[in-house]
C-alpha cells in the first residue's frame, strides 16, 4: 500500500498542517506520522524567547491530525470531517524544540457514523513527549 501525503487526506494547510509524512496506515484503525520541527515555525519566537518549546496543545493537534488521516482514509468516512469533541488524559512528559522530529502514533478505539474516540502518543527519539485520548464528532465536509 502506498502511503498518502498528509495534504492529500487532510483539509489542513500551512501554517496549521502539523504532519510532514505518513509512515504507517491502517485505514479506520491506526496511523503513524512525523512532524519535523525546523525552528522556523512562528510559535517558537514567542514560546519561549531563549528557550523555544513546542506548545503541548500543538502536539495534541498533531496527534489529532494523524488520527484524522486514519479516519479519512477509511471509505466509510469519505467526504467527512472529524472535529474535536474533547481531549482527555493529556500528559506532557518531555519538551520538544527546534530540530526535533516528533513521531506520532494514533489508534482508533471506537468509531460510529457520527463520532469516535482514539488514543495517541507523540515522542522524540523513542522518548514519550505527549499522550492523550481524543474524542471527535464526524460531520459532512461541505
Query: What kind and span of H or E run contains 45?
Result: helix 43-46
Burial of 1 (0-12, 13-18, 19+ CB in 10 A): exposed
Contact 37, 100 (CB under 8 A): yes
Query: What kind and span of H or E run contains 83?
Result: strand 80-92
Point out the residues that are catalytic.
47
Amino acid at each position: 500500500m502506498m502511503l498518502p501525503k498528509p495534504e492529500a487526506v487532510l483539509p489542513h494547510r500551512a501554517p496549521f498542517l502539523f504532519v510532514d509524512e505518513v509512515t504507517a496506515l491502517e485505514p479506520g484503525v491506526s496511523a503513524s506520522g512525523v512532524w519535523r520541527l525546523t525552528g522556523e515555525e512562528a510559535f517558537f519566537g514567542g514560546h519561549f524567547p531563549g528557550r523555544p518549546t513546542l506548545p503541548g496543545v500543538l502536539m495534541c493537534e498533531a496527534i489529532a491530525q494523524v488520527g484524522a488521516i486514519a479516519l479519512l482514509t477509511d471509505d466509510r468516512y469519505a467526504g467527512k470531517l472529524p472535529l474535536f469533541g474533547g481531549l482527555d488524559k493529556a500528559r506532557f512528559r518531555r519538551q520538544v524544540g527546534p530540530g526535533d522530529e516528533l513521531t506520532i502514533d494514533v489508534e482508533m478505539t471506537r468509531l460510529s457514523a457520527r463520532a469516535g474516540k482514539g488514543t495517541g502518543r507523540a515522542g522524540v527519539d523513542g522518548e514519550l513527549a505527549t499522550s492523550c485520548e481524543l474524542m471527535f464528532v464526524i460531520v459532512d465536509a461541505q
